[in-house]
Amino acid sequence: MRIALFSETFPPQRTGVAVVLERLVRHLAQQGHEVLLAAPVSWRPRGDVALPGEVRLVRVPGVPLPLYPDLTLGIPHYPAVGRAVRAFRPDVVHLVTEYTIGLTGLRLARRLGVPAVSSFHSNIPGTLPYYGLGWARERCWAYLRWFHSHARVTFCPSETNRRVLETQGFRNVRVWARGVDTDLFAPRHRSEALRQRNGSGKDLHLLYVGRLAPEKDLPVLFEAYKRLARFRLPQDIRLTLVGDGSYSAKTRSQAPPGVTFTGHLEGTELSRAYSSADVFVFPSRVETLGNVVLEAFASGLPVVGVAEGGTLENVVDGVNGVLCAPGDPDALAAAVARLAGDADLRRRMSANARSWAEERTWERAFAPLTAAYRELASH
């Protein structure tokens, strides 16, 4: 098949959608498909990615989104994209994101008479209140309903998210789950030297991985970390944050003393950061899934998360992690304290977390998506 994808984000941009999309285009190329991907030039140049020869990357000039500069918006209907897509003659179009590049893909699919699928990765309506734009939530949902109504199928990353979309009036919604590399993320990458550098090997090490952005609810995590001092715990607690973003400086200024910031990590450095921790903490309530939860599980970490959004898809309370009320630092602190005081419980949850991750391969995750491509291309 010839598959054309349109996305606002792709490496070297650092978003969960970009990571998944790179995985997808490599998978499609390995399966013998031809791929064309249209994506904007990152406004923070870090060097482009090397892709297989079966993948053609068409870059579009772009500008950072106001209030959210981690995302670059491409120029819509950029002529070079239209020429490339017409020459490519796709069998199916995938609208990965819903904004300027997605609109370009939608326009071309309709003009060429090519079937389109879409995907809903990010809960933008849920993030708007964090930027003082809560008044625009319903308008945003209305636009998203209109956009996705033009796709034959809309994919989202979790059953939890599928139910939300159907409640909002979306039709033909299917789940395209996520996988995890259980070789890259594995307990065997644990480093005692890294634990010593961030405190002590005897401490309980908490880890957060993700963008440093308002919607990640990191102030709730910081307040919970401070409140752990109220508990009589058998060891000291250390907190490390891995990630960056345009709100990095503000996030660092909000953090209590003793919190470690590593900046962006990837590859083996990221693997060591995960496996050298003891508990993964994830306070975000607006996730559609949370790829980092699966990476933490693969690394053998129980997850303390909130009982809202995509975190519910993977964290089973009392089995591979602890769920607590969203936006509640006391509940988050109590959940961490529970794990800190019970080493046997942490070990059981760690084993369960790893087993959960081992069942979620990328090949299995991509299967419903590629099946939909074939289904639409054959009609």
Model pLDDT, residue 354: 98
Model pLDDT, residue 14: 79
Distances (CA, A) of 332 to 68, 87, 243, 329: 27, 54, 21, 5
Joined together, the tokens standing for residue 271 give 């693997």
Going by pLDDT thresholds of 50, 70 and 90, the confidence category of residue 253 is: very high
Model pLDDT, residue 64: 79
Nearest to residue 305, comparing CAs of 214, 206, 177?
A: 206
Distances (CA, A) of 160 to 125, 154, 286: 16, 14, 11
Model pLDDT, residue 199: 85
Q: Which amino acid is at 208?
A: Y
What backbone phi and psi angles, to 5 degrees, belong to 53? -65, -20
Model pLDDT, residue 44: 56
Task: Quote the mean pLDDT of the chain.
Answer: 93
> What is the CATH class of 2-179+361-377?
alpha beta
Instruction: State mean pLDDT over 198-208.
Output: 92
Model pLDDT, residue 161: 94
Place of tokens 């990328």: 362
Query: Which residues, at least 6 apart from 77, have a Cβ–Cβ distance to it below 8 Å?
Result: 103, 104, 107
Rounded to whole angstroms, how far apart are CA atoms 225 and 220? 9
Rounded to whole angstroms, how far apart are CA atoms 289 and 161? 8
Helix (H) or strand (E) holding 131: none
Contact 92, 259 (CB under 8 A): no
Percent of the chain with pLDDT over 70: 98
Model pLDDT, residue 246: 81
Query: Which residues, at least 6 apart from 349, have a Cβ–Cβ distance to it below 8 Å?
Result: 302, 319, 320, 321, 339
Query: Which residues, at least 6 apart from 74, have a Cβ–Cβ distance to it below 8 Å?
Result: 8, 38, 39, 40, 41, 60, 61, 62, 100, 101, 104
Q: Residue 96: is its pLDDT beyond 90?
A: yes
Between 353 and 52, the higher pLDDT residue: 353
Going by pLDDT thresholds of 50, 70 and 90, the confidence category of residue 179 is: very high
pTM of the model: 0.94
Percent of the chain with pLDDT over 90: 84
Between 134 and 246, the higher pLDDT residue: 134
Q: Residue 18: is its pLDDT beyond 80?
A: yes
Model pLDDT, residue 252: 95
Model pLDDT, residue 46: 58
Nearest to residue 296, comparing CAs of 143, 142, 184?
A: 184
Rounded to whole angstroms, how far apart are CA atoms 239 and 258? 8
Reported as a single tens digit per residue, the pLDDT across 183-197 is 999 999 999 999 999
DSSP letter at 283 equals: -
What backbone phi and psi angles, to 5 degrees, belong to 79? -55, -35
Rounded to whole angstroms, how far apart are CA atoms 28 and 21? 11
Model pLDDT, residue 52: 81
- Please state at what angle helix 267-275 crosses helix 291-298, rounded to 10 degrees: 70
Query: Which residues, at least 6 apart from 80, have a Cβ–Cβ distance to it below 8 Å?
Result: 58, 60
Going by pLDDT thresholds of 50, 70 and 90, the confidence category of residue 43 is: low
- For the chain, the structural domain boundaries read 2-179+361-377, 187-358
Model pLDDT, residue 29: 94
Q: Residue 305: is its pLDDT beyond 70?
A: yes
Model pLDDT, residue 45: 54
Q: Residue 220: is its pLDDT beyond 90?
A: yes
Going by pLDDT thresholds of 50, 70 and 90, the confidence category of residue 77 is: confident
Reported as a single tens digit per residue, the pLDDT across 279-304 is 999 999 999 999 999 999 999 999 99
Reported as a single tens digit per residue, the pLDDT across 205-218 is 999 999 999 999 99
Model pLDDT, residue 49: 76
Model pLDDT, residue 374: 94
Q: Residue 70: is its pLDDT beyond 80?
A: no
Joined together, the tokens standing for residue 173 give 């919604």
Same fold, 2-179+361-377 and 187-358: yes
Instruction: Please tell us whether the domain made up of 187-358 is placed in CATH 3.40.50.1010.
Output: no
